[in-house]
A and B are shown apart, each in its own frame.
Chain A
C-alpha cells in the first residue's frame, strides 16, 4: 500500500497515458482522436514535472539566504534529511523538467493545431470526421480532389 502511495504519480501518469492511447486507437472520430492524443501528451508532462519535485523543495526562484523566507523554508525541512545531505539553506525543485515540458507543451499545441486543421479539411473534403466513413468514401471515388478545384 505504501508503495502505491509513494509512487502514485507514476500510476497517475500510466493511467493517463493508457487512457489517451486507448482513445486514439479505439475511437473512430478524428476529433476524439486528437483529444486522446492531447491526453497522452499531457501524461508525459505530468511524468516530467512529478519527477522534478524534490522533497521539501520550493519553486526555483532564488531566495535571499539570510531572509526570513529562507529561514522559514529551511525550518520546514526534516532535520535528518538536512544532516544526511549537508544542506545549509533552501532546497529548490528541479526547474529543468519544467522548461522541457514547456517546450513539449508548445510542440503539443502546434500538433493539436495542425491536427485539427487537417480534421477541418477532412470534413470539407469528405463530409465526415468518422474514420470508417472516410475509409468507405476513399474507396468509392478514389481520385476526387477537394471541393474547391
Chain B
C-alpha cells in the first residue's frame, strides 16, 4: 500500500498556493513561449511549465491525502461569493493525469513538431499547447460552475486551433477542426444554458453551495431542465455516443502531439465534470438522476462500447481506428461510473487513467513512426517491426494493454470493471464488456498482425526508428503499461480515493 500522506513533494510555501500555481504556471509559460525567439526556446519553456505544473499536482496529492480536500479562495474572496478552487481526491487524480500527459507530450514535441507543424508556427504552437493545459488544469481544480465553463472554453478554443495546425500534413485537419469547433461550442453553450437554469433555481454558482441548495429541489422542472442541458452539453464534449461525431476527424488529422495529448485529456476532463455534476452537485437518489444513470447513461455507454468498437473494426486508417476505439473506451468508463457504487466509480476512474496511458503510448508510437514514414493506412504498417523495432514493441505493448492482455494495466482495469459489474448484479454490463473486448481484440489484432507478421512490400518507403528524444518518453509510457500491470497499487489507490470523494456526497 502506498501512503500518500507522507508525500511532501514541495516546500510548504509553494504548497500553500499549489492550486493556483498549478493553473497559473502553464499560463505564464504560454505568454513566455509566444514571445520566445526560437522554436527551441519555446520548447524548453513548454517542458519547464509542464513539469512545474506536474510538480504542483504531485504536491497536491500529498496534501489531499492528508487533509481530505484542499480549498483555495482566489483573491482571498471566500465562497460562495468568491470563486474557489476545490481539489479533492478526484480532482487530484485528473490533475496528475493531465499534467503528466502534458509533460510527456511536451517532451515528445521536441522532435516531432518539424514533421507536423510549419516552422514559423512552432512558438505559437507551444504557446497554444500550454494554454490548453492551463484550461484543463483549471477545469479540474475549480469549485465554481461558471468558472468551469471558462476554463473549459479556454482549453477547447486552444484545441480547435491546435487541431487545425495539423494542416501541414493533411489539409483535412481544417474542416475537422471547424467541425470540432462547431460541436464543441454547441456543447459548451448547452452547458452554460444548464448552469443558467441552475443559477435561476438556486441563486449560487459555487458547486458545493449549489449541491446543498439542490438537495430540496429535485422536483423542480427548472432543475431537471438544467440537468438535461448540462449533461447533454458535457456529453458532446466527452464524445459520449451518439454525440461523438467530431472526434474521429479531430484525432485523425491533428498533429501527433495534439492527438497524444487529446487522447489522454480532452474527453476525460469532460467526463470528470459530468461525473461531478451527476454525482456531487445533483442530489443523490433523486429520481431523475437515477433515471438518467440507468436509462440513459448506461445504455448509451454500452452502445458506445459495442457500436464504436465495431466501427473501429471496419476502419482502414489507423488513427481513425484509434479514434473510434477512444469513443468505445469512453463507453467503458461511463459504464463503470453508471454503476453508481464506489467499486464501480473506482473501476471506471481506474480505467480512465489506464486508457489515457494506453492511448498515449499508441499515438506516440505512431507519431514516432510518422516522423520518417507518413503512415496512414493499416497496410502501410507492414514490416515496421523490422525497421523500427522499439517503436513497434511500444505500439505492441499499448495495443496489448488496450485489448486487455494479462500483465498489462488494461487487463487489470477491465478486471476491476467486470468485478464491479458482477458485484452490482449487472450481468448485462459484463456481457457488453466481454463482447466489446472481443471486438477490441479484433482491430488490435489486425494492426499487430500488420506490424509484426507481414513483411514490408517491395519498393515501399521504409520506416526509420524514431529519434531518441521520442523513444525515451515512448518507452517510459510503454513501460508504465507493464509496470502498472504488475503492480497497480498506485493508480488503484488514487482511483479509490477519487471514487470515495465523488460518491461520498458533496464535499
The residues of A with any CB-CB pair to B shorter than 8 Å are 17, 21, 24, 30, 33, 37, 40-41, 44, 47-48, 51, 96-97, 100, 103-104, 107, 110-111, 114-115, 117-119, 121-122, 125-126, 131, 134-135, 138, 142-146, 148-149
Contact = CB atoms under 8 A, between A and B. Distances in A.
Contacts of A51: 196, 199-200
The prevalent SS among residues of B at the interface is: helix
Contacts of B170: 142-143, 145
Given A107-B149, A145-B167, 15 more contacts: A30-B178, A51-B196, A104-B149, A110-B153, A111-B160, A114-B157, A115-B160, A126-B175, A131-B175, A134-B175, A135-B175, A143-B170, A144-B171, A145-B170, A148-B118
Interface residues of B, number: 33
Given A40-B186, A114-B157, A114-B160, A143 B175 contact: no
Interface of B: 118, 146, 149-150, 153, 157, 160-161, 164, 167-172, 174-175, 177-178, 181-182, 185-186, 188-189, 192-193, 196, 199-200, 205, 374, 376
Contacts of B153: 107, 110-111
Contacts of A107: 149-150, 153, 157, 188
A114 B178 CA distance: 9
15 contacts: A37-B185, A41-B189, A96-B205, A97-B199, A107-B150, A110-B153, A111-B181, A114-B160, A117-B161, A125-B167, A125-B174, A143-B170, A145-B169, A145-B171, A146-B171
A44 B193 contact: yes
A145 B175 contact: no
Main secondary structure of the interface of A (DSSP, over half): helix
A98 to B, nearest CB: 13
The 3 closest A-B pairs by CB, nearest first: A125-B171, A122-B174, A107-B153
A117 B157 CA distance: 12
A106 to B, nearest CB: 9
A26 B73 CA distance: 45
A143 B182 contact: no
B188 to A, nearest CB: 8
Nearest to B175: A134
Nearest to A134: B175
A40 B189 contact: yes
Contacts of B200: 51
A143 B374 contact: yes
Contacts of B178: 30, 33, 115, 118-119, 122
A67 to B, nearest CB: 27
Contact of B174 (A104, A110, A118, A143): A118
B151 to A, nearest CB: 11
A103 B150 contact: yes
